[in-house]
Amino acid sequence: MPNRVPRSGDRLLAQQTALARFGELALRSEDLQEILHDACRLAAEGLGTGLAKVLELQPDGRSLLVRAGVGWEPGVVGQVTLQADPGTLEGLALAAPEPILSEDTEQEARFGIAPFMRQHGVRSLVNVIVLGADGKPPYGLLEVESREPRSYDRDEIAFLQSYANMLAAAVERLRTGDELRARAVEVERLFRELQHRVKNNLQVIIGLIQLQARRATSAETQEALRVVRRRVDALRLLHDKLYLARDVDRVDLGAYLGELAGTLLRFHADDDRQVRLVLEMRPMIIVPEQAAPLGLIVNEFITNSLKYAFDGTKGTVSLKLEPARGGELRVTLCDDGRGLPQERSDGTGMRLMDGLARQLSARLDWASVGHGTRLTILFRPLPVR
């Protein structure tokens, strides 16, 4: 006659306390093996048997690996695989909507048990399904065994089902995390590939512009192509800073504009003139959507200063970035060249700068300072994501 394990208020309290602690572990731990082992240990302790295991359903949908367990000899956990065939305990458990229990396996007519379970003296058992989420196949089975015949009452089965439900939630949480991390790795790979292609395409464009400039017979065409090349180069520099920093949603405006200005001066350097660059830049983080038009405005101002302001003489170009009132940023560009003409030119460069300022919702303020020219740009930075 199967033994009925007496229950008491103290034992029920101990089971509920164990469930609560296991719930904390299931929510906190990132180690599935730790969670599965603790579920087996606490379930075996809670039912007073000393034997328990978790069977993990394999991708073929018909075999189950002993993924975790307590009370078993070495060579079982992580190594034994059972087939959920008709006439087996595992096949019945996966097909049945209710928990499967056996008070005495030697008197059992519905199924046979695996040889290793007989070798461990299993005489009674109860198992429940660890469900999958959102219609997915079940994760597997949680099973508690005893070395003596015994019955399992409704409260004990509910206790075991509670562990199985928390296991199911933990498994889904970790699986979702793994899937998200895998997607993030794939997105990162695709992003790097995209950035590499953009970089290559910008280099190809610059190369084609240089080739066309060498082939052009008109000085006017050559100069127009050089202007286009400098504008593309300003965008290439911004892309390189974003790509190398691996941070595509923010850029240090001070570092970007300072490097851009230095590159422009080196590009225009020759033996007939010496133009000095003075930088007063503060680290200011803005979004790339604003850095790009600002870089193009700076490119136009410095290019025009180097081309028209100094007449082959020495000079200075200065660039300053600082916060302004009301949360705005101020970019100030100056040269000490010949100054603004009496009437402002309406050339392509000026029209481009005006259009870029509208894109930024920025205010441009032109002024003559001594013998030179000053351009002040005031704009409100967008929130950085």
For residue 239, tell me if it sits in a domain.
Answer: no
Is the pLDDT score of 8 beyond 60?
no
Q: What confidence score (pLDDT) does residue 346 get? A: 64
Q: How do residues 53-103 score in pLDDT, each as one tens digit? A: 999 999 998 899 999 999 999 999 999 999 988 889 999 998 888 899 999
- Evaluate the CA torsion angle 11, 14, 20, 23 in order and state its sign: negative
217 pLDDT tier (thresholds 50, 70, 90): confident
pLDDT, residue 264, reads: 81
Do 89 and 173 lie in one domain? The reply is yes
Say what the pLDDT of residue 5 is: 46
User: Is residue 375 within 8 Å of 332, Cβ to Cβ?
Assistant: yes
pLDDT given at position 2 = 53
Q: DSSP string of 154-221?
A: HHHHHHHHHHHHHHHHHHHHHHHHHHHHHHHHHHHHHHHHHHHHHHHHHHHHHHHHHHHHHH---HHH
**Domain termination residue (choose one: 179, 207, 233):** 179
pLDDT bracket for residue 195 (50, 70, 90): low
Residue 254: CB atoms within 10 Å: 22
Residue 318 CB neighbour total at 10 angstroms: 17
Residue 69 forms part of a structural domain:
yes
Tell me the mean pLDDT in the region 171-199.
Answer: 74
CATH number, domain of 145, equals 3.30.450.40
How distant, in Å, are the alpha carbons of 88, 149, 336 from that of 356? Answer: 75, 84, 24
Q: Are residues 175 and 259 in the same domain?
A: no
Q: CA–CA distance from 207 to each of 201, 219, 244, 267 (Å)?
A: 10, 19, 22, 15
Domain boundary among 145, 179, 213: 179
Domain annotation covers residue 302:
yes
- What is the band of 327 on the pLDDT scale with cuts at 50, 70, 90? very high
> Each residue of 330-362: pLDDT tens digit?
999 999 888 776 665 666 778 888 888 998 999
Residue 158 scores a pLDDT above 60? yes
To the question of pTM greater than 0.75 for the whole model, the response is: no
| Chain centroid, CA 209 distance in Å | 37
Considering the domain architecture, whether residues 151 and 56 belong to the same structural domain is answered as yes
How many angstroms separate the CA atoms of 365 and 378, rounded? Answer: 8
For 3-7, 13-17, 175-179, 284-288, which range has the lowest pLDDT when averaged over its residues? Answer: 3-7
Judgement on whether residues 261 and 384 belong to the same structural domain of the protein: yes
pLDDT tens digits, one per residue of 92-135: 998 888 899 999 999 988 998 999 999 999 999 999 998 887 77
Same-domain check for residues 382 and 291: yes
Greater confidence (179 vs 281) lies with: 281
Residue 269 has a pLDDT of 60
Residue 181's CB is within 10 A of a number of other CB atoms, namely: 10
Of 355, 363, 356, nearest in space to 379 by CA: 363
**The predicted structure's pLDDT at residue 118:** 92
Question: What is the model's pLDDT at position 271?
Answer: 44
- 8 Å CB contact between 123 and 104: yes
Average pLDDT, the chain: 82
Number of domains in the chain: 2
pLDDT tier for residue 295 given thresholds of 50, 70 and 90: confident
- Asked if residue 51 is part of any domain, the answer here is yes
Contact between 105 and 123 (Cβ < 8 Å): yes
Is 213 contained in some domain? no
**Is the same domain home to 163 and 32?**
yes
Contacts of 5 (CB under 8 A, 6+ apart): 47, 48, 150
Same domain, yes or no: 17 and 121: yes
Domain-ending residue, one of 155, 179, 203? 179
What Cα–Cα distance (Å) separates residue 80 from each residue in 32, 34, 64, 76, 114?
Answer: 19, 19, 9, 5, 10
Asked whether residue 24 falls in the same domain as residue 131, the answer is yes
| Among the listed residues 354, 144, 145, 372, the one whose alpha carbon sits nearest the alpha carbon of residue 276 | 372
Higher pLDDT: 169 or 321? It is 321
φ, ψ for residue 70, nearest 5 deg: -135, 145
Q: What is the CATH number of the domain that holds 310?
A: 3.30.565.10
pLDDT of the residue at 246: 61
Closest C-alpha among 162, 121, 125 to residue 145: 125
145 pairs with which residues across the strands? 51, 125
Residue 23 predicted with pLDDT over 80 = no
Instruction: For residue 236, tell me if it sits in a domain.
Output: no
* Non-local CB neighbours of 346 within 8 Å, separated by 6+ positions: none
| Residue 338, amino acid | R
What is the span of the domain harbouring residue 275? 249-385
Does residue 19 sit in the same domain as residue 147? yes
Taking the alpha carbons of 101, 104, 110, 115 in that order, is the dihedral positive or negative? positive
Tokens of 347: 């050339």
Q: What is the pLDDT of residue 318?
A: 93
What letter does residue 300 receive in the DSSP assignment?
H
